[in-house]
Structure 1
Amino acid sequence: MYYWNDLTSVPNGFGPSVVTIGNFDGVHIGHQRVLQQLVAAAESHHAAAVVVSFEPHPAKVHRPDQAPELIMGLEDRIETLATTGIQALLMMHYTLELAANTPEDFVTKVFVNALNARAVVVGHDVRFGRDNSGDLGTMRELGQKLGFEVIVIDDFGASPTDPTEADGDRRCSSTWVREALEDGDVATAARILGRPHRMRGEVVHGAARGRELGYPTANLSPASGGYIPADGIYAGWLVDEAGTRWPAAISVGSNPTFEGVSRQVEAHVIDRPQEDVSDFDLYGQTIIVEFAQRLRGMVAYTGPEALIAQMRLDVEETREVLSTEQRLSR
């Protein structure tokens, strides 16, 4: 996949292309449906499938105090979009200057002049250009004027109990994913996303309290990318820089058993070979933490002994949950 972060990076004479536009935060199954149709349309036009997206999220520029917390960091968004079959991603730096373009100016500069679009794939609710003044009708008018086809994609409705069912009455959306994560319902989030929710970040030094208790953890940097789910204990996975996927019990929160602990995400890898435990040093590595299922909320215990006993139970439950997940995926 070609990746460009500016219009000037697009090669002269690129195209023809079929283009879609959006933030694609989460690249959930609704997004995936759009991208499948984008790729199919590009094949029928003998053209390249291109996604135009923005960084930062437009809301962070226009309404920073109301901007949604992003489901995934930029690196994960690029990596995930690259698996969808598209040929190119134009990640435009979103500024007030860019937002000031009229709908026609934006479409002419980006879709026509830079990408040589033969078709544009959009949803019924598409908005673009200055003050979001461009809509589907505007896009169709511009298509007729500037010489590209407009392909309209219907919303992908899904069932709250099974988001993969296409006959549900709730629109698949990034908002739905955020609501599930805010509730700690990472299993529902995974169904909407089509894969486990993940965070990515550098392993940093913490208070080493987990090591003292016999359960050493990899602590994610506060600057890590990805939506932090509700406080609690989760079964999941840790993926190291070598790509090895380790089963892990994950803690999100401030650990109320101890005072003065800030909110953090930390993962305890389970079932490593005993001879490897002592040299399992992840400090400074950029790792991925994937969430499979929430086990319980965060609880303040009477002391370290009670906490250690609960952690032992958490590890056993993590092992059971992940073992069941692996059996079902075969």
Structure 2
Amino acid sequence: MQVWHDLAEAAKALTAGVGQGGHSSCVVTIGNFDGVHRGHRAVLGRVVGLARADGRAAVAVTFDPHPAQVHRPDDAPELLTGLDDRLDLMAQTGLDAVLVLRYTLDLAGLTPEEFVTRYLVEALAARTVVVGHDVRFGKGNSGSLATMVELGGAHGFEVVAVDDIGVCRPQTAGGSPRWSSSAARALLAEGDVAGAADVLGRAHRVRGLVVHGDARGRLLGFPTANLGAIQGMVPADGVYAGWLRRPGLAAAGPDHADHADRVLPAAVSVGTNPTFDGVDRRVEAYVLDRDDLDLYDEEVVVEFVERLRPTLRFDSVDDLVVQMRADVDRARDLLG
């Protein structure tokens, strides 16, 4: 999947031809796609299907930073995924390209027609635009589905309206859709990573650089990878079973000497280490039964499969070690 960060880059790529068919026109959709949950993937899958049927490139337009971070930074929602993981997950849907627009007040100030003309028509040569029934775009969110249909008629593109939740969407007890970014955030805030996985259609993940910590885990017999510069929403404090992925090894290919270590089972601790009067909230991953890994300064992805227990304060280090051993045993059983 190609990633374009400005209009010049998109225009150059389309001139050369995008995708295996060398397409110069597109089926396009627009959205934030935070978390790339089941509903998002249904929409993106529709884009890909239409593009393949029409012999065009499948393209999504997304924004960075999230518009809420620009318009209301003090109460913007915590993002489920950083941009790197959002793009990685979008690539898995089969898209040919993503145009990442830097979201600014100037961009927000464009009228609906200015936005459509500049980005969808002139930049992407859109022939079909896929949007949700509740789409809003342009200055003050003044553009609606009816606006998009009207602009499509004026500029020569078809508009396909879809339900971005899905016709068979699961429901919460109150009847609201569960396949939403806000639903996933609420579940992660409670530590319910299994429930969040149901919304997302995959295990929730965070990404970060492995940094030096207190080395306390190694002294206790459980050396951990401490994540810094974390991208993605960290779930509630607790201990989790999960996976540690090493994107660098996956990119190196199957012939790389360490390729077998690209996905590793792990017990993951989130919290402040209250037994040691810790203050800083951390994400630490212990790769099960491994003390030979040197992960410092490596970017890794941690996936959360199931919460084992909440964070606890122990009366002694010996009690903590006993519990850590039990946590590792449970994680091993859960991960198979």
Match of 1:317 in 2: 330
Q: TM-score, normalised by structure 1?
A: 0.91
Sequence identity of aligned pairs in percent?
55
What is the rounded CA distance, in whole Å, between the counterparts of 2:326 and 2:46 in structure 1? 46
**2:2 is aligned with 1:2:** yes
What is the rounded CA distance, in whole Å, between the counterparts of 1:20 and 1:28 in structure 2? 15
Cα-to-partner distance string for 1:207-264 (whole Å, 9 max, x where unaligned): 111111111110000x211110000000011113324111111000001111133100
Instruction: Select 1:196's aligned residue among 185, 195, 203.
Output: 203
Q: TM-score, normalised by structure 2?
A: 0.89
Match of 2:275 in 1: 257
1:149 Cα deviation after fit: 0.6
User: Partner amino acid for 1:191?
Assistant: D
**2:253 is aligned with 1:246:** no
1:74 Cα deviation after fit: 0.8
Contact 1:17 1:118 in 2 (8 A): yes
Instruction: Select 1:231's aligned residue among 221, 230, 237.
Output: 237
Moved over 4 A (4+): none
Match of 1:170 in 2: 177
What is the rounded CA distance, in whole Å, between the counterparts of 1:17 and 1:79 in structure 2? 20
1:8 Cα deviation after fit: 1.9
User: Partner amino acid for 1:9?
Assistant: E
**2:317 is aligned with 1:299:** no
Alignment of 1:28-67 (within 5 A): 28-67=37-76
What is the rounded CA distance, in whole Å, between the counterparts of 2:171 and 2:209 in structure 1? 34
What is the rounded CA distance, in whole Å, between the counterparts of 1:160 and 1:265 in structure 2? 31
Cα-to-partner distance string for 1:57-99 (whole Å, 9 max, x where unaligned): 0111111011111111111111111111111110001111111
Contact 1:247 1:271 in 2 (8 A): no
Match of 1:86 in 2: 95
Instruction: Select 2:286's aligned residue among 246, 251, 268.
Output: 268
Match of 1:153 in 2: 162
Alignment of 1:19-34 (within 5 A): 19-34=28-43
What is the rounded CA distance, in whole Å, between the counterparts of 1:95 and 1:72 in structure 2? 20
What is the rounded CA distance, in whole Å, between the counterparts of 2:231 and 2:51 in structure 1? 32
Contact 2:178 2:199 in 1 (8 A): no
User: Partner amino acid for 1:201?
Assistant: G
**2:78 is aligned with 1:69:** yes
1:43 Cα deviation after fit: 2.2
User: Partner amino acid for 2:180?
Assistant: S
1:169 Cα deviation after fit: 5.9
User: Partner amino acid for 1:227?
Assistant: M
**2:299 is aligned with 1:286:** yes
User: Partner amino acid for 2:309?
Assistant: R
Alignment of 1:178-217 (within 5 A): 178-217=185-224
Contact 2:35 2:200 in 1 (8 A): yes
1:290 Cα deviation after fit: 0.8
What is the rounded CA distance, in whole Å, between the counterparts of 1:217 and 1:239 in structure 2? 14
Change in Cα spacing, 1:171 to 1:236, as seen in structure 2 (3 Å) is closer
What is the rounded CA distance, in whole Å, between the counterparts of 2:192 and 2:223 in structure 1? 25
1:171 Cα deviation after fit: 4.7
Change in Cα spacing, 1:169 to 1:61, as seen in structure 2 (3 Å) is closer
Contact 2:11 2:124 in 1 (8 A): no
User: Partner amino acid for 1:289?
Assistant: V
Contact 2:60 2:95 in 1 (8 A): yes
CA RMSD of aligned residues (A): 1.5
Contact 2:205 2:304 in 1 (8 A): yes
Contact 1:158 1:169 in 2 (8 A): no
1:160 Cα deviation after fit: 5.0
1:11 Cα deviation after fit: 2.2
| SS across alignment from 1:170 | coil
What is the rounded CA distance, in whole Å, between the counterparts of 1:136 and 1:171 in structure 2? 23
What is the rounded CA distance, in whole Å, between the counterparts of 1:92 and 1:290 in structure 2? 28
Cα-to-partner distance string for 1:164-188 (whole Å, 9 max, x where unaligned): xxxx862511111111111111111
Change in Cα spacing, 1:108 to 1:171, as seen in structure 2 (3 Å) is farther
Change in Cα spacing, 1:106 to 1:195, as seen in structure 2 (3 Å) is same
| SS across alignment from 1:158 | coil
| Range with bigger deviation, 78-87 or 19-28 | 78-87
Instruction: Select 1:108's aligned residue among 102, 117, 124.
Output: 117
Match of 1:137 in 2: 146
What is the rounded CA distance, in whole Å, between the counterparts of 1:295 and 1:93 in structure 2? 39
